[in-house]
Amino acid sequence: MSLPCGTRNYNYAEDMGIVRTKTHWVLLIAFLVILFTAPLYFGNYWLGVFNLIGITLIAAIGLNILVGYCGQLSIGHAGFIAVGAYTAAILTNRLEMPFLVGLIGAGVVSGLIGIIFGLPSVRVKGFYLAITTIAAQFIIIWVINHWSLTGGFVGIKVPYASIGGLVFRSESSQFYLIIIIAALCVFFAKNLARTKVGRAFIAIRDNDLAAEVMGVNLLYYKLLAFFIGCFFAGIAGALLAHWIGFLNAEQFSFTESILYVGMIIIGGLGTSIGPIFGVIFIRILQQLLTMELVPFLESTFTNFPAGFATGVTPMLFGLVIVLFLILEPRGLAHRWALFKSAYRLWPFSY
Amino acid sequence: MAELLQFVITGLSVGMVYSLIALGFVLVWKSSSVANLALGQIVLISSWFTYSMLAQAELPVYIAFPLVVLFAMFLGWVIERFALRPLIAQPILSLIAVTLGIGYFIEGVITFIWPWSVDALPRLFPREVIHIGPAVISQEYVWVIVICLVVFVLLTVFFRYHKMGIAMRATADDQMAVQACGIPVTRVFSTSWMFACCVAAIGGILISSIGGITHGLVETGLKAFSVVILGGLDSFAGAIIAGPIIGLAESLGGGYLTPYIWAGVKDIIPFVIIIIVMCIKPYGLFGEERIERI
Amino acid sequence: MNNKRLVIAIIICLALMVAALPLLSACGEPDTEGKTLKIGITTPTTGPAAEKGAPMGHGNLDCIKYVNEELGGVNGYQVEVVWLDNGYDAAKVATIVKRFMNEGCLLYSTSSSAMMAASMEIANRAGFPGIAAFSSPILYRPPQHIYGQMPDYGDDFLVFAEYYMDNIWKGTGKPKMAMHLLANTTGYGARDAATAFAEELGIEIIATEEHSKTTTSEMESLTRVKALNPDVLYISSTPAPTALIVKNAYELGMFPGITIGSGHAGFTKALIDIAGADITEGVYGVFPTVNWGDDVDGMAKMTEYINEYHPNDAGNMDYITTWAQSLIMVEILRVALDNAGYDALAAGDAASWKALEEQGIQKLKNYDVDGLHGPVSYTPGDNRLSKSVRVFQVQGGEITPLTDWIDAPMVAYEDFEWFGN
């Protein structure tokens, strides 16, 4: 059990509690305080990075539910994010609906599209299913590019997010909006895994035949997983749309989809903390490499050939991913669990 | 009628290009069930290497090509030895994610060595076209078809009769049992990666002689996925037949549907076909159906 | 085993820390005494658009180096460049622009229109001026804080179409034109211009084909085009697909025979390299900069720098584009310094951006960019800085100019109902 020695359950509510000990509470509150006062210590640039991380995190959580919990490999997540982003853009820009309607609408439409492309999952699994999601990605982008409602190749503008009279203009206000929604999503995902639905997902992932024999309705739960996963993607897309302010289908590339899968694998599949680690790791790594390392190399090693500084970025990025997986194939979440138990047992680890 | 013939010939020849790359994908899948996401980058780096040999070092073709093949085998060996072998017996998704990392790494190496990022191979084939009735086909494509078929026959024969080929098939079937029989699984893996990179390199040379060397080759490599799936992930015959089917669908669909739907419909036709095939035959046209036990 | 892993992990951590150390020290550095003007430049030097992004980044940076080292900066102030590679990644470019604003850059530039599109609303919202080398109408229609360095892909089409009607078309009636478009703004910018003006120009558009940037054969689409008997084929794409289309047209026996015109994104040396000089002979194209070896003021310096620092890019016309872009940015800084003074620009905040835009960009008048491309001036309501292109033709494997600068008209696309719908 992952609880410190001496923590006992006296009733069911306690047993189900997420936050159990005083240390937990202290750490949680400290973390939240730091998180919500972040705009005080960070400039607009870093807040922008955090916003990007928050948005990516929401999408990654959705993908983790789909891939990590339910075992349905999807390599078309950027396509579903695009659906959400464009739905939000169309609802708020063309139909001039309020932001919240756009947000929920984005999630629902994206989820429904997810169900459509999830239908083959009833018969197909593993890598064969992955290809139908790749197909989804390309078909979605093609439709967006050619449909008049989406602005086609020209693209579409998206207004600021606003709730009532409150307009999220500044980077810090957007930060609060995104972080609160991301926190809600994390909380939802954490709890989902512990409900009947979550257990059904895990049963399907581990062996879908066995799950079916035990009475899990495969069709229902697989499509539900697609709906939830894509719903989150849609929410992330809507936030992305309001944050960037302008949409063009080129922003939702296939490489982005692959990267999302990479993020949750590096973080640790099928854990609630995994996507958080994975997203932060990949996004921060990207930022550090492009924003800090490349200009530094460019200005320091002026004698090297032209491709030196820029070639280093993807090389290091790839290298870190490879090394990471070689050293910790079960993802950062596993390392985190090891750390926790080591911390608890310290200094008598045996 | 002339149009139809042209569509068919174009479709078949373009499809063979997909088949060629798909063969490289199937090779790896067949022995280790790893989906190689770095395939496109391997195609690209082999094309650049060919460029260096032919255009920069100005070696004659008969020296350059063996060097490219050697390079590709070395590349495959390095990838297997240093990135995939440490992960044997780890979750399969981690292995797939590693190939993703390899892809980025190779991309970096390419930027490093060939930073101007677009160029053309010296012309390998004469520019005169071959006339088949009223339709035409360029010589590059004739070579693509011939080489693709040769590679296919070689691979099939190898897998059927050669000791290593049989070992590869056995490894794909049951890794544990094979290990118990004393077959060196690690060597099987590294051989399959070396072969896969070779095939990808050959595909790279042919495609870049058609459309130049650009980053677009990476995505062409990815398009081969759709071919593989249609054929079945573990079937050479599937890859070789599915390629032309996809090519034909693109060419005929594009040819006759474009006036009625939005432009560019040809780029998504393969994917629509994939979804339909997946619903009817979940393991592709020629893939091995797995009987599952609980 | 466990120990070994731990050791490896520690080594990696140390390596990362060593890599990170210079960053930390860079953060702690106090601002230097010398007064500088900061500008931000982002290019897609890696990733799917690297074929254009890499040489463009080199052009940008070499030019600034030249300005700083040989001209002593702008009115004595050194130009400080924050250059970042966006990898053609929309998420990255959004944070990059925030970074530019945070670092106190006075303006920023992008190479590709897609990256500008992905970042322009962030810049527009903050009032941060940006200049896109390659642009599409959406960037500045309606005009806000984003400027186009050169005419866009629609302007290319208009100039080519006019040239075609005046000089090439000898038949009677309306010439039949087929368009082959790359599936993004590069292609569809030309389509928008055609939709708006084909009628007026007296051209009949008989087919609009689309191709992806990874295409390996366009025999199928060209077969269909061929059946419609076009007089002229207009391609708006990047070099590799353009080369493939020209080659396929040659193989089908359409070309030579019809006229082929290309927009500026595809009309570079790479086009001739990939398709072959013999096949591309006679292809027309429009391009908004001069060619290598032309007799203009800026050519000597630019040739000297490219040979010294980036010999691999020799002959690449995208390099000229961004060299000129850097010259324009320097000119903007100079004009702004003359009109507003250093103090108004020093802060690099919203006020400085406004000053730069109003006292710099909008006061540009007939700057000749050392002759590298059409004259640059600002006209109210039109955010294109240079409005002119020249028509070129491939002759003997060389891109040879046929005309002098031709101004492309300003098109208020936002007035058309179909635009963006």
Note the pLDDT tens digit of each residue in B33-78. Answer: 788 888 889 999 999 999 999 988 888 888 999 999 999 999 999 9
Collect all residues of chain B within an 8 Å Cβ-Cβ radius of residue C215: 211
Domain with residue A186: its CATH number is 1.10.3470
Which band of pLDDT confidence, cut at 50, 70 and 90, is reported for residue C33? Answer: very low
Three-state secondary-structure class, residue C145: coil
Residue A27 within a domain: no
CB < 8 Å to C418, chain A: 148
Question: Is A49 inside any structural domain?
Answer: yes
Q: Which of A7, A19, A120, A25 is nearest to A73 (CA)?
A: A120
Poorest-pLDDT segment among B168-177, C12-21, C354-363: C12-21
Tell me, yes or no, whether B199 lies in a domain.
yes
Establish if A282 belongs to a structural domain. Answer: yes
**Per-residue pLDDT tens over the stretch C13-30:** 555 554 554 444 444 433
* Bond preceding residue C256 cis, omega within 30 of 0: yes
AA identity, residue A276: I
Q: What is the DSSP letter of C218?
A: -
The predicted pLDDT at position C30 comes to: 38
Paired sense of beta strands C204-211 and C176-182, if any: parallel
CA-to-CA distance for A129 and C364, rounded, in angstroms?
Answer: 57
Find the mean pLDDT for residues B154-169: 89
The chain B residue lying nearest A258, using CA atoms, is: B100
pLDDT at B146 over 50: yes
Residues of C numbered 190-229 whose beta carbons fall under 8 angstroms of chain B's beta carbons: which are they? 208-217, 219-221, 223-224, 227
Q: How much is the pLDDT for A98?
A: 92
Which residues of chain C are within 8 Å of residue B90 when distances are taken between CB atoms? none
CA distance C216 to C299: 36
Closest partner residue to C220 (CB to CB) among B10, B129, B220 is B10
Mean pLDDT (chain A) is 88
Shortest CA gap C52–chain A (Å): 13
- Closest by CA position to C287, among listed C140, C172, C393: C393
Pairing of strands A156-157, A246-247: antiparallel
Domain range for residue A101?
41-292
d(CA B27, CA B154): 12
Residue given tokens 């691979």 in the structure block: B155
- B10, B111, B129 ranked by CB distance to C217: nearest: B10
Which fold would CATH assign to domain C36-151+294-386?
Answer: Rossmann fold (3.40.50)
How many contacts (CB atoms, under 8 Å) link A and B? 158
- DSSP-based helix, strand, coil % in chain B, nearest 5: 75, 5, 20
Cα distance between residue B142 and residue B9, in whole Å: 10
User: Which residue of chain A has the CA closest to B294?
Assistant: A210
Q: How far apart are CA A32 and CA A39, in angstroms?
A: 13
C250 or C52, which is more confident:
C250
Per-residue confidence (pLDDT) for residue C270, from 0 to 100: 83
The CA distance from B285 to B288, in Å, is 9
For residue B94 the two structure tokens come to 């981690």
Closest Cα in chain A to B113? A307
Give the pLDDT of residue A185.
Answer: 94
| Number of independent structural domains in chain A | 1
**Model pLDDT, residue C13:** 53
DSSP string over C262-280 = E-TTT-SHHHHHHH-HHHH
Q: Do B104 and A138 touch (CB under 8 A)?
A: no
Burial of B53 (0-12, 13-18, 19+ CB in 10 A): buried
Residue A102 lies in a domain: yes
Query: How many whole angstroms separate alpha carbon C415 and alpha carbon C142?
Result: 9
Against chain C, the chains showing at least 3 CB pairs within 8 Å are: A, B
Q: Hey, how many other C-beta atoms are within 10 angstroms of the C-beta on A331?
A: 30
* CATH code, domain with B212: 1.10.3470
**pLDDT tens over chain A, length 350 residues:** 467 777 777 888 877 777 778 888 899 999 999 988 888 888 888 999 999 999 999 999 999 999 999 989 888 999 999 999 999 999 998 888 999 999 999 999 999 999 999 988 888 877 778 878 888 999 999 999 988 888 888 888 899 998 888 889 888 999 999 999 999 999 999 999 889 999 999 999 988 889 999 999 999 999 999 999 999 999 999 999 999 999 988 889 888 898 898 899 889 888 889 999 999 999 999 888 888 888 788 777 766 666 677 778 788 888 988 888 888 888 888 888 888 888 887 777 66
Task: For residue C383, report the phi and psi dihedrals to the nearest 5 degrees.
Answer: -85, 10
User: Complex ipTM above 0.90?
Assistant: no
Chains that touch A (3 or more CB pairs under 8 A): B, C
Question: Using an 8 Å Cβ cutoff, are B28 and B196 in contact?
Answer: yes
Contact (CB<8Å) B263/C313: no
pLDDT for C22 = 45
C-alpha C344/C-alpha C348 separation (Å) is 9
Predicted local confidence at residue A306, as pLDDT: 62
Specify the number of domains making up chain B. 1
Does residue A173 sit within a domain? yes
Cα–Cα dist A66/A339, whole Å: 27
The residues facing A247 across adjacent strands are A156
Lowest mean pLDDT, pick from A79-93, A315-329, B279-293, C317-331: B279-293
pLDDT at B294 over 70: no
Of 3.90.1170.50, 3.30.750.24, 3.40.50.2300, 3.40.50.620, the CATH number of C153-287+392-415 is 3.40.50.2300
Query: Do the first three CATH levels of C36-151+294-386 and C153-287+392-415 match, i.e. the same topology?
Result: yes
Of C26, C114, C192, the CB nearest to A296: C26
Q: What is the mean pLDDT of residues B172-185?
A: 85
Q: How many CA atoms lie within 13 A of C118 on its CB side?
A: 26
> Higher confidence at residue C34 or residue A257?
A257
- What single-letter amino acid sits at A135? A
Of residues A233 and B129, which shows the higher confidence score? A233
Give residue B156's domain range.
2-280
Q: What is residue A180's predicted lDDT score, i.e. its pLDDT?
A: 94
| Cis peptide, bond prior to residue C142, ω within 30 of zero | yes
C290 within 8 A of C393, measured Cβ to Cβ: no
Query: Domain spans of chain C?
Result: 36-151+294-386, 153-287+392-415
Cβ atoms of A76 and B275 closer than 8 Å: no
Residues A20, A18: Cα–Cα separation, whole Å: 6
CA nearest B36 in A: which residue?
A127
